[in-house]
Amino acid sequence: MSDAKISKFTIEDLETWLGTKFRKVDRSSIILSFLVAIYTLIFSSLTIMKHHAFKTYAWDLGIFTQSLWTTLYANKFFYHTCELFINPSGSFFGVHFSPILFFILPFYRIFTIPETLLVLQSFVIALAALPIYKLATDYLQSRLAGLTFALAYLTYPAIQWVNYYDFHVQAFLPLFFTFVIYYAFKKSWGRYFIFLVLSLMCIEHVAFISSFIGLYIAWKFRKSILLNFKQRKILASEVSVPLFTILLSITWYLFTLWQRDTFFPINPATMEEFLGAPNFTILGARSPLEIPLLIILRPLNAIQALLYNGHMKLLFLFLIFSPLAFYSFKDPSALIPTVPWFVFSFMSQTLDHYALGNQYPAFITAFIFIAAIFGVKNAQLKGRISDIKKPLKIIIACTLIIFTIASPLSPLVCTLFPEKAVSLGEREKMLANIISEIPENASILTQDNIFPHLSHRVNAYVIPKRFLSTSIRDLVINFVNQTIDQVDYVLLDIKADSLSYSSVAPLLESKQDFILVFSGDNNTILLYQRRNTS
């Protein structure tokens, strides 16, 4: 028997084995469930450990824990104190329109601890492997391909960093977006719109992406659309669905602006900072909405903005496309929904917008995988199962290589970036003990990495370090000064955040209303108490 026949027999035999039922469930589904469970367990454990090591932050875990807690127990509407100087209402909906939070409330009511969000996020991110598996299995007619893409997703560094960094509503997007496209190609329009609306419910920026999903669907069904127009069938689903998707997206986004301006208005003095103008000084955009027009009107500025940190933008592209061996580019039309995010991020001067380590890759991950699945299909010369053997091998190899050099689980990453490593020592135990001694009804001002541990109270405040180097610094200092006047305690960790300490220490000294009641770890952990607080 020739090598070609052996190879063909081997992959087809594996497909047969994966399709064999075990207690009425095919083996590939059992393997997929196992992979999802293992991922959830690993990242739940890792992020919980990270939280206990005081490496979760007010931005953004603390914002969500306080918002959920105040809604459940303080008769507030997703209220948090982290940005009151920008968003006087305190409602999270004043900054982002995220009704998906209503679905999270029951879980948080049952388990009212920050760890709930970390476990939920790990599970939701892992669950996106399901539609990726279904799409690859159906489209490539191969369970092995489905498992390969599911495994590639679960070991994809960009999405692992989304999981690793606190909690964000964007974590739902890979799951929802993949189902949107899956049901679009199944022409199951009811389910398509269910997941489209769920995507929109995550955060208002999704409206830009969903409008481009409408354009993408129009492009994929362009032949049917032209035929229906010729036959005057303008209500045919291939015509009406993309059009309604775009109209829904525009209407949704306008509604998010209306509800914010009507019920949760932003402090006018901070509007430029709120809209992100400092991110686009080269282009000159005062808000992201101005970017497309200014690219046309100021092409030289746009080129300058694109080239700014160009090496980091190229590295970002490499890290998000290389795990799938760049197969996404073999079906570039599937990347149409990523256009809004790439335009926004590559016109920005802010490194977070084109680097791993934050929530932003969640906006585009689903489409990168969808494009790669379709790209492998395009690489099948004769449409045979054996034709995908080589692409799958290449993808597995690339996935393992990039995982080794870029995953938060990689020892190499922890060696090169020791600040990313998680450890629990005496210092962390000391902080936890101090926090446990602070009365539950006491008001407190603390810093970014401690705030999530104190956020289950209405009157917990954080020093907004991230705004101290912005144009609204004076406003922030004034806010901190006023906050000190109304809190009972101030808890600082100089080793973790010297900037916050240097900003607050002069204010504490000038007031002389506080006494130092605890000093530990060589005077780097400090707890101040107001003199008249019992």
Judgement on whether residues 32 and 80 belong to the same structural domain of the protein: yes
Domain range for residue 256? 3-416
Is 87 in the same domain as 189? yes
Domain for residue 331, yes or no? yes
- Domain membership of residue 445 (yes or no) is yes
Cα(475)–Cα(468) distance, rounded to whole angstroms? Answer: 9
Domain end (from 398, 416, 434): 416
In terms of DSSP bridges, do strands 489-493 and 514-520 run parallel, antiparallel, or are they unpaired?
unpaired
Q: What are phi and psi of 491, to 5 degrees?
A: -120, 125
- 448's CB contacts (< 8 A; 6+ apart) are 57, 58, 59, 62, 462, 463, 465, 466, 497, 500
Question: 421 lies in a domain?
Answer: no
Residues 262 and 376 in one domain: yes
Return the C-alpha torsion angle 331, 334, 336, 338, nearest 10.
Answer: -110
3-state secondary structure (DSSP) of residue 72: helix
Q: In terms of domains, do 385 and 435 share one?
A: no
Residue 408 lies in a domain: yes
Do 469 and 329 lie in one domain? The reply is no
| Count of CA atoms in the C-beta half-sphere (13 A) of 310 | 6
For 208, other C-beta atoms within 10 Å of its C-beta total 20
Q: Are residues 322 and 438 both part of a single domain?
A: no
**Residue 396 and residue 254 share a domain:** yes
CB atoms inside a 10 Å sphere around CB 239: 19
- In a domain, residue 377? The reply is yes
Q: Do 436 and 383 fall within a single domain?
A: no
Burial of 440 (0-12, 13-18, 19+ CB in 10 A): exposed
User: The tokens of 224 are what?
Assistant: 């049917």
**Cα angle, residue 242 at apex, residues 238 and 320 outer, rounded to 5°:** 115
Using alpha carbons only, give the angle 174, 175, 178 rounded to the nearest 5 degrees. Answer: 75
Do residues 63 and 129 share a domain?
A: yes
Which two structure tokens, joined as six digits, stand for 433? 């003990």
Give, for all 534 residues of the chain, the pLDDT tens digit. 444 454 455 777 788 888 788 788 899 999 999 999 999 999 999 999 999 999 999 999 999 999 999 999 999 999 999 999 999 999 999 999 999 999 999 999 999 999 999 999 999 999 999 999 999 999 999 999 999 999 999 999 999 999 999 999 999 999 999 999 999 999 999 999 999 999 999 999 999 999 999 999 999 999 888 888 888 777 888 889 999 999 999 999 999 999 999 999 999 999 999 999 999 999 999 999 999 999 999 999 999 999 999 999 999 999 999 999 999 999 999 999 999 999 999 999 999 999 999 999 999 999 999 999 999 998 875 666 667 889 999 999 999 999 999 999 999 988 888 878 888 899 999 999 999 999 999 999 999 999 999 999 999 999 999 999 999 999 999 999 999 999 999 999 999 999 999 999 999 988 888 999 999 989 999 999 998 866
Domain end position, chosen among 416, 438, 469: 416
308 and 366 share a domain?
yes
Cβ neighbourhood burial of 103 (10 Å; 0-12, 13-18, 19+): exposed
- Are 515 and 368 within one domain? no
For residue 301, being part of any structural domain is answered with yes
Separation CA 371–CA 394 (nearest Å): 16
Does any domain span residue 262?
yes
Give how many domains the chain has, as a whole number: 2
Interatomic CA distance for residues 132 and 151, integer angstroms? 10
Residues 374 and 446 reside in one and the same domain: no
Domain's final residue, options 366, 393, 416 = 416
Looking at the domain assignment, is residue 234 inside a domain?
A: yes
